[in-house]
Amino acid sequence: MDDTFELLFSISRSNFAIFGSTFFTPSMTFLEFLNEYWIFAILFGLFIQVKILTVLDRSTSKSILKTFARVLGIEKVPVTDKNIKEYEKEIIKKLIEIREGRVGSSAEITKLVNRETELRSSFQALEETVRKLKNENDLLLNRANELADERSTLLNIIQEKDELSKDFAFLNHNSIAKLSNLISDYQTVQYSISEKYLRSKSHPALVEAKRIDELRVETKAYIKTYKEIIYKWEYLLAVFPELADYAEDIGSIRLEVSPSFKNALPDNVDIDNVKNFLSKQEYDSMSVDDRNQLALDRYLSGSKSNWQIGRDYELFCGWEYEQNGWDVTYTGMEKKLEDLGRDLISVKGRKVNVIQCKYWSRTKMIHEKHVLQIFGTALLYQLDNKDKEVKPVLITNTNLSQTALEFARKLNVEIVTKPIRNFPRIKCNVSKDEFGITTRIYHLPFDQQYDKTRIKNNGEFYAYTVKEAVEAGFRRAYKYQGG
């Protein structure tokens, strides 16, 4: 045993002589040494064990030493008694390399681990970048598809615009219809927006959405028809400027002239035009008679179109004739553009006055062509009614040119100059309904049947106020009272 311990002491001393100066620094503690050189410490401990085994059991130690050498990457011929010292030297050399950081040192391993961590982080960042690029690519593809759809839509719009331009270059019925349809679509777009909102909101209002859509269709039809009338009227004025002498504005063309409007607004439709002069609150809160009177007051005091002013002037002139015992036919209001220039035909016995009424701006002047027109239409009436004494009459609020006055004198056309003054507007009419029952109905100037209603029978008259008409036993049509 003493020989064995002496050998171990000799090995230890020789080993520390070899490694001591290399591995230890004067200020390094044993724990710091283990922390810094843990790989070396493990290998060196194993190597000491191999040395011990070499002393105790040579045959076993050879196998272990060879395995230990293989772990360190040392390839030698089979271990023998002769080359075992060479193995030991190679192992010691390899351990020194480990200590110097040239082969598998802790610093290198730590560096490699850190590098691996960096690479993993870089790889993850790269994966994230790829994911983002893929998402961006998907977004770009979606946007490309949207742009393709927009391009297709724009191309269709351009094509439609080109077709419309070709149509508008040659004004005709089709082009007017297309333009009117286009404008009616534009003016009812808010209906479509409201209808879509009501359908798509969190709590859809499908019934109201359906009602709005139906209202859009109805409103569009009215606007389209109205625009067609406007454009056709302007076209006619451009082709036949003299029409301006017979009708000063679009109001002169009544809705009844258009068959399509006749169908769109039938006579029996329940539309109370009183609502055009009152707020909803006023209409709902006031009595029938009070709201009708307020609407009439606002109609009389409000602004009017040239057509409305002209119609009121015809009513005024006709009413004055009636007060003087004449039987008056309001041809202008009843026949519209087919009146042949005869606004009124007043009859008293054999006397007939064929009358044209012109209420113009005081800055405008009546010219000879207007005198010739009333003379010509009166002459035509005389030829058809040879037993009558026919006189042409021109009633106006403005002046005639000197030439017009000369024509009137030579053609025996009576010229009457008079301004309009207040006169009763409510027509109180007595008639029979479909059951043969006598009805007493009053009509306001903005009611649908006003122009067609004639006041000539016993018990009929013109009233200034609603109260006057009601006290005389007349009422407004039931359809205007919710009845």
> Domain range holding 365?
306-417
Residues 281 and 321 in one domain: no
Mean pLDDT along residues 368-386: 91
Do 341 and 374 touch, CB atoms closer than 8 A? yes
Q: Give the tens place of pLDDT for each residue, 467-477.
A: 999 999 999 97
Is 168 inside a domain boundary?
Answer: no
**Residue 14 within a domain:** yes
Residue 436 confidence class, pLDDT cut points 50, 70, 90: confident
Do 454 and 314 reside in the same domain of the chain?
no
Domain count within the chain: 4
Q: Is there a single domain that holds both residue 287 and residue 259? A: no
Of 80, 104, 128, at which residue does a domain stop? 104
Same domain as 281, residue 228: no
- In a domain, residue 31? The reply is yes
For residue 151, with 0-12 CB atoms within 10 Å meaning exposed, 13-18 middle and 19 or more buried, which class applies?
A: exposed
Within-domain flag for 202: yes
Residue with tokens 């080359």: 83
Domain co-membership, 297 together with 313? no
**What pTM, to 2 d.p., does this model score?**
0.49
Read off the pLDDT of residues 83-132 as tens digits, 9 standing for 90 and up.
766 766 776 676 666 555 544 445 555 666 676 677 778 778 888 888 89
Of 264, 291, 325, which residue constitutes the final position of a domain? 264
Tell whether 283 and 430 lie within a shared domain: yes
Q: What is the pLDDT of residue 477?
A: 77
Residue 158 lies in a domain: no
Q: Kindly state whether residues 314 and 386 are assigned to the same domain.
A: yes
Q: What angle do CA 100, 101, 107 make, to 5 degrees?
A: 130
Residue 299 sits in the same domain as residue 440: yes
- Segments in 330-465 forming alpha helices (H): 331-335, 368-384, 402-411
Interatomic CA distance for residues 97 and 23, integer angstroms: 11
Rounded to an integer, what distance in angstroms lies between the CA atom of residue 237 and that of residue 23? 116
Residue 294 has pLDDT above 90, yes or no: yes
Looking at the structure, do residues 247 and 326 belong to the same domain, yes or no?
no
Q: Among 72, 75, 76, which Cα is nearest to 104's?
A: 72
Are residues 312 and 445 both part of a single domain? no
Indicate if 406 and 429 belong to the same structural domain.
no
**pLDDT more than 70, % of the chain:** 67
Contact criterion met (CB below 8 Å) for 419 and 359: no
Q: Judge whether 382 lies within some domain.
A: yes
Q: How confident is the model at residue 270 (pLDDT cuts 50, 70, 90)?
A: low
Q: What is the pLDDT of residues 441-463, one digit of tens each?
A: 999 998 888 888 888 888 999 99
CATH of the domain at 344: 3.40.1350.10
Residues 298 and 428 in one domain: yes
Q: Rounded CA gap, 173 and 179, in Å?
A: 10
Q: What is the mean pLDDT of residues 291-318?
A: 89
Residue 362: per-residue pLDDT: 78
Q: State pLDDT tens for residues 127-158.
A: 888 889 889 999 999 999 999 999 988 888 88
Nearest CA to 349 out of 331, 326, 328 is that of 326
Residue 429 maps to a domain: yes
376, 395, 417: which is the final residue of a domain?
Answer: 417
- Is residue 454 one of the residues assigned to a domain? yes
